[in-house]
Structure 1
C-alpha cells in the first residue's frame, strides 16, 4: 500500500522549505523529496556560491585599485589563492545547506525523503522502493545548465556554471560562450582573479534583453578591465587545442584558444525524468510545466513552482511562487503571477538592478513615455566611491504618471533599485515619488530627483 500524505513536494529549492512550513503549520502531513542536495540551485550552485565568489573578486579589485584611493601597498604583488577562495565559498554553502536541513528534519509532520521521484499516476509517486500518494503535489524541481548542440563540444572538456565553482586554480585563459548574466558574472570574477578572459556572444550585443545603452555601458567597463568580447559570433565551433580548447567565432576570424571553456547559454528545467506523462501533466516545447497564473498545472491538484514552470528564473520569483500558492490555498487569497512586477539584478561590479519595463518594452507596448536619466558620473556618492561607471533611469507613463520601470547600473544598483520597485508596488505616481526626501549622500537619492526631471522620449 502507498504511504499517504496530505501533500507531496518534489524538490527542495527556494519555494519548497517555506511551503512545507506553511502546510505543516496548517496541520497537513508533508513528504518532501530531494534526490540531490537540499536547497536546490540557489544554495548549492547559484546565488550563495557565486555571490560569495563575487565578493572575493571585489576584494581583489579593491586591492588592485588601492593607489586610486591614495593607498600605497609595499612588499610584493597581490596573489589570488583560488583554493582558499573555493574553501570560503564551500564553507558558506555548507553552513546554509546544513541550517536548512536542520530546519526540515526537525519540522513536525514533515518527512524528508532522499531519492528520485517519478510519477506513476496523477496522485501516485515512487521514490525507490516506496510509493507515496497525496491529494496535493507540488513540483519544485528547478533547472540545470543547458548544454547546446555546438559542433565539437562533445569531444572537449568544458565547464558549466555549476562545475566552474569547483575550480581550485585560476584558469590561464577562460573562454566563455554566452554573453548574458551568468557568463558575464564569471567573466569579471576570473578576470579579477588574474585570468585572461574572452566572452563569445552569438548576438549583436551583450545581455540583449536590456536596453542598448545599458548593454553598451556594461561591455565598456568589462573591456576596460581587460575582458575581450567577441559578439556576432555567427559560426561557433569547438575543437581540442593541446591541453586546452580552440573556439571558432565565425568562418573568417582566427580561433580563440584558451585553457578552459565555460558554456553559459542558459538553463533547462529538470522535468524530463519525472514521468510527467503518467500523471498527464503538460509541458511546453522547452520542457517547462505549463501553469496558469495561480501556478496550477493542467492536472487538478498538481502545482509547479520555481524555475521548472517558466514563469521566472530567479530565487526571488520562486519564493514569490510559494507565497502565491500558500496564500491562495491556505488563506483564501487570489494572488496571481500576472500581478508580479518583474525585478532582478546582474551581479557584475557595478551591479545592474532592473524593475518593470525597459525603454524598448515600453515602446513596443505603444506607451507614450517620459524618461529621467542620469549617468553615474553625475552622482555624488558614485564619484566619492570612485565608481562612476553606469547610469540610472526611471520610465514613466506620460498620460497616467505611473512609473513603468527603471534601471540602476552603478554602485549598489541591486539595492537602490528597490526604491523604484517599492514605489511601483505601492502605486505611487511619479510626481509623488519625485517629492520624496532621500538621504544624502546615496546613489538612491537621485532616483526621486530624476523622476522630477522627466523628458519626453524621442525615437
Structure 2
C-alpha cells in the first residue's frame, strides 16, 4: 500500500478536474477531488451550458416573428424572464447531480469543501484536516476579471447574470470578447436596451477581421449600441436602484444593470501554490510543461488555471491526457493546433485555424475564398441578414489552413469542417465533395 492517503488529489471539480479524476480512478488510482462550490465547474454551473440555454431562448424572439411568413398564425407573445431563468437553473441542478453521480460511480471521493496546497504532496481542507497524495492536480479554472474603479461593486459578472431577479430594461455590457457579445445578443432579443462598452476599438480580438466586422454590422442593425475607446470612470447607484454610469469621453448613461465581461483570470490566488514553490506567470497562471507538470514535480495543473486555451473541451482533453499519462500507461500530449472555437452571438460564429492576417504573416502567399449569402430561411422571412463563410488556403500546397463562418448554425457546421482542417485536407478535397443541397453548409464545397 502507498504511504499516501491518495494517489491523486484534485482541487477543483470542473470540466478538467472531473475528467482527470474519473479517468485516473478508472485506471485504478485512489482519487479524491475537493470542490468548494458546485461539482461541474464554470461550464456547467455558470458558463457555457446555462448561457447556451439562454441563447436558445433568445432565438425564439426572431423565430416566432419569422413564423408568420411561413404561414403560422402566431399571436403576440410576451417573454417571461423568471420562467426561463428558473428552468435553466433547474437544468444546471440536474447536470450537477449527474456529474456527482459519475464521480461516485467511479469510486472517486468527493469532498465538498475548500482545499489548499499545504506542501508538495499535502493538501489542507477548510476544517484544518490535512491529507497527503502522491500527486496533486490543480483544476480551479478561471474567474471573471473586474477592473477597479469607483462603484465597480455595483456591476455584475457572468457568475451572477443567470440569477437576475428581473430582466433589466437597460443593460450596459463592458468588454469586447465572446462573453460580452453573446450576452449582448441574448438580452437584445429578450427586449433589453443593450450597450456594449469597450475600452479598446475592436470586438472579438483574435477572430478574422471580416467575420467580426460582419457581427458588428449585424448587431448594430439589430439595435445594439457600441461605444469604443470608452473606459469606465465610475458607477453610482441611484435611489430607485438604477445606475448612473460615467465613461471617459461620453455623456452619463443610465442603466438597470452593468455586466462586466472584461476577460477571465486564472483562479490561482490564495490556494498555497506560491508557498509550495509552484511558479506562476504575471497573470497568475500556473506554468506547466507538455505533461501538465508544474515547477514542483508532484503538482500538476489543467484547464483555465494554466491560461493556455480557455475552452472547456481543451480542459477536458488536458485532464484525459494527464490521467492516461500517469495512471493509464498511455503517455499523451495534447495537440493545440487547429482547435475550433465558437461565439454564440446572434448570429453565431465558428472558426478553426489561421485567420487571413495570420496566414499572410506566416505563409506569405495565400488564397482566400468567400461566400456572402442570405440563408434561405432569412430570404422567405424577409430578413436581410447575410451569412459569410471564409476559407484560407496555403497557395503553395493547396492545404486549407483556416475556416471562418458567421451565420445560422455556424458552430454546428464548423465542427465537422474542423475535422478536414485538422486532417490537412486541400481545397481540391473540398471541391471534390458533392454538395448537400439545399443547405448552408454546401457553400463550403462550392467556394470559387
2:172 is paired with a residue whose SS is strand
Q: Distance in 1 between matches of 2:232 and 2:128?
A: 48
Q: In structure 2, what is the equivalent of residue 456 of structure 1? A: none
Q: In the alignment, which of 153, 170, 193 is matched to residue 190 of structure 2?
A: 193
- After TM superposition, the structure 1 = structure 2 runs for residues 38-437 of structure 1, keeping only pairs within 5 Å, are 38-74=39-75, 77-108=76-107, 110-127=108-125, 128-154=127-153, 157-234=154-231, 236-242=233-239, 243-251=241-249, 253-377=250-374, 380=376, 383=379, 388-437=385-434
Instruction: Tell me if structure 1 keeps the 8 A contact 2:352–2:421.
Output: no
TM, length-normalised to structure 1: 0.91
Q: Distance in 2 between matches of 1:33 and 1:235?
A: 37
Q: Distance in 1 between matches of 2:381 and 2:312?
A: 30
Q: How many residues align?
A: 444
2:111 is paired with a residue whose SS is strand
Quote the offset at 1:196 in angstroms. Answer: 1.0
Quote the offset at 1:333 in angstroms. Answer: 4.5
Q: Distance in 1 between matches of 2:50 and 2:205?
A: 25
What do the CA deviations read for 1:257-276 (whole angstroms, capped 9, x no partner)? 11111111011111101100
Q: Distance in 2 between matches of 1:67 and 1:232?
A: 41
Quote the offset at 1:365 in angstroms. Answer: 2.1
What do the CA deviations read for 1:374-397 (whole angstroms, capped 9, x no partner)? 0132x5576467774330111111
User: Taking CA–CA contacts closer than 8 Å with sequence separation of 6 or more, which of the two structures ends up with the larger relative contact order?
Assistant: 2
Q: Distance in 2 between matches of 1:355 and 1:16?
A: 26
Q: Distance in 1 between matches of 2:389 and 2:115?
A: 46
1:62 is paired with a residue whose SS is helix
Q: 1:385 to 1:321 in 2, by over 3 A?
A: farther
Q: Distance in 2 between matches of 1:119 and 1:389?
A: 52
1:276 is paired with a residue whose SS is coil
Unaligned runs of at least 5 residues, structure 1: 454-459
TM, length-normalised to structure 2: 0.93
1:88 is paired with a residue whose SS is helix
Q: Distance in 1 between matches of 2:368 and 2:416?
A: 16
What do the CA deviations read for 1:192-246 (whole angstroms, capped 9, x no partner)? 1111111111221321222222122111221222111112225644333442222
Q: Does 1:5 align with 2:2?
A: no
Q: In structure 2, what is the equivalent of residue 34 of structure 1? A: 35
Q: In structure 1, what is the equivalent of residue 17 of structure 2? A: 16
Q: Distance in 1 between matches of 2:275 and 2:131?
A: 15
What do the CA deviations read for 1:14-61 (whole angstroms, capped 9, x no partner)? 122222222112111001111110000011000111111111111123
Quote the offset at 1:347 in angstroms. Answer: 0.4
Q: Distance in 1 between matches of 2:64 and 2:120?
A: 57
Q: In structure 1, what is the equivalent of residue 441 of structure 2? A: 444
Q: Distance in 2 between matches of 1:364 and 1:292?
A: 27
Q: Distance in 1 between matches of 2:152 and 2:56?
A: 31
Q: Distance in 1 between matches of 2:97 and 2:391?
A: 41
Q: Distance in 2 between matches of 1:31 and 1:304?
A: 15
Q: Distance in 1 between matches of 2:328 and 2:113?
A: 32
Quote the offset at 1:116 in angstroms. Answer: 1.2
Cα RMSD of the aligned pairs, angstroms, is: 2.1
